[in-house]
Structure 1
């Protein structure tokens, strides 16, 4: 299980065989962890300022290697080699404040890296293939940019914002990439008079051609071929609820994990629990401040 854990400012890979995680008393539950704080390989990104409220963690395979992609709300964005922690690429986007609020990242087949900046209303595509400190980028405007997913079958970059789900065509060269909006669809209407509040975007592992989409109001799957948002997936009655920060399924078991905020914690968006669906269950992290949780499934 891969966690974006804000209370301890770490990315954690935890043992899924344990339902009660207490790293202090049982360190063995932590299979792997990452924090750039005190790591010389990330010193130029000023993690003391930029690594505040880690907001994304997801695992990807690229050219035979496994990487963890991560962002933090005060400007940090990086692609981290697993398990060495070596830096493939990283950037500090307005470090020290949430002016841009990097909220998700994605690596493309050519090695470049896209970053969604929610407060900055931008999707940026960095020429990360040029090296770990590459700073050149192309950008496209997207209000409330929150999630990203590279669609290899259609060769487009999906992105979710406050009000819409969009795709971008990637052009130019590896050194000078470009982004051009190709398609957009409005998100399902939530509370009348309020933005739908698009949040998480992730492929449905057990059903290619669909995307998990979360909004302030509920959880949907987007059927790409049919161009329609649906809630016809197994377990929808428990999974589809408001304020879900992350959702994803394991194609081998069909189990779905999700995170929703828990009252009474230091921050209103934190939780100590990861919900499991089909069958229903729960993981708990002692003294946690979990934002997102995903199955550790390199692809």
Structure 2
């Protein structure tokens, strides 16, 4: 079996009931024909595509093009729901910036659609929103998490840095609504954090829950087939982590998986760094386990996400 096809043989868990989301055109439940959100670093755009259509400009459902400079080499994207703006996009860029933008106002968004941005430094790789308190947490691969707290939960323009937490190799963050924990992955570890306080007093504290990895953690996401699990990739493979027992199950040992998503209903998709092209950490192809792989000529995809505001 070819290495790029190893993931096709992975068994998928039981479906998740009612994986909800909000906003026009955003999935309200898992379907066979879902949308995929990707960071493409050559054009330096976030694209949203129907996974059953070719990843061409004509087929783009949504795009966001923030320009270069601090927004160069987009390294993360996801969407979350807010009371004031509805669905918003979250992004991190290795050029130095993290921020959120209004994804609902038009089909093709640009820098002028940004609602808030910041420069946490240290090669930002991920950004997550903590609901209810309106805080955001960025992961920078140089070794730390940065917490931003608002003075008004509904207004991201009021966000300011309130805390920096050491985490060597920080690459991924995801909110766990079932346990009210923030999970982050770094160098050889997945670490949980409690969240206390509100507004500018919001703070993270390392929880006793943590799981050892074999190498540098790359991607950390919810498991949309089972809300009790997390999915994490490191330099040597992809793993399932039970959020209660902390049991880690190796799903496969394919290297350099930069993004991995496990859906309810049996589908999974991923991006694997191919050691080729202008950015050897990326790939022009998003691989699907039950659908046609999607290759965009000349592209360098880094992250791929399920286009939903649901946390799990």
TM-score, length basis structure 2? 0.79
Higher strand proportion (structure 1 or 2)? 2
Contact persistence 1:107–1:114 (CA under 8 A)? yes
Structure 2 CA distance for aligned equivalents of residues 77 and 66 of structure 1: 17
1:280 Cα deviation after fit? 5.7
Are residues 1:92 and 2:119 paired?
Answer: yes
Are residues 1:249 and 2:266 paired?
Answer: no
Q: 1:208 aligns with which of 221, 227, 247?
A: 227
1:184 Cα deviation after fit? 4.2
Are residues 1:229 and 2:225 paired?
Answer: no
* Alignment deviations for residues 215-244 of structure 1 (CA, whole Å, 9 cap, x no partner): 10000000112211013xxxx45xx51110
Distance 1:134 1:226, change over 3 A: closer
TM-score, length basis structure 1? 0.83
Partner of 2:297: 286
Contact persistence 1:91–1:133 (CA under 8 A)? no
Distance 1:280 1:30, change over 3 A: closer
* Alignment deviations for residues 69-92 of structure 1 (CA, whole Å, 9 cap, x no partner): 110012110122222253332112
RMSD (Å), alpha carbons: 1.8
1:174 Cα deviation after fit? 1.1
Are residues 1:3 and 2:38 paired?
Answer: yes
Are residues 1:63 and 2:75 paired?
Answer: no
Contact persistence 1:106–1:114 (CA under 8 A)? yes
Structure 1 CA distance for aligned equivalents of residues 156 and 78 of structure 2: 21
Partner of 2:10: none
Partner of 1:268: 280
Partner of 1:258: 270
**Secondary structure, aligned partner of 2:200:** coil
Partner of 2:159: 134
| Structure 2: 5+ residue stretches without partners | 1-35
Equivalence map 1:1-299=2 (5 Å):
1-18=36-53, 20-23=54-57, 27=58, 29-37=59-67, 48-63=68-83, 65-84=86-105, 85=109, 86-94=113-121, 100-109=122-131, 110-119=133-142, 121-128=143-150, 129=153, 131-132=156-157, 134-189=159-214, 196-231=215-250, 236=251, 240-251=253-264, 253-277=265-289, 279=290, 281-299=292-310
**Which is bigger in relative contact order (C-alpha 8 A, separation at least 6)?**
2
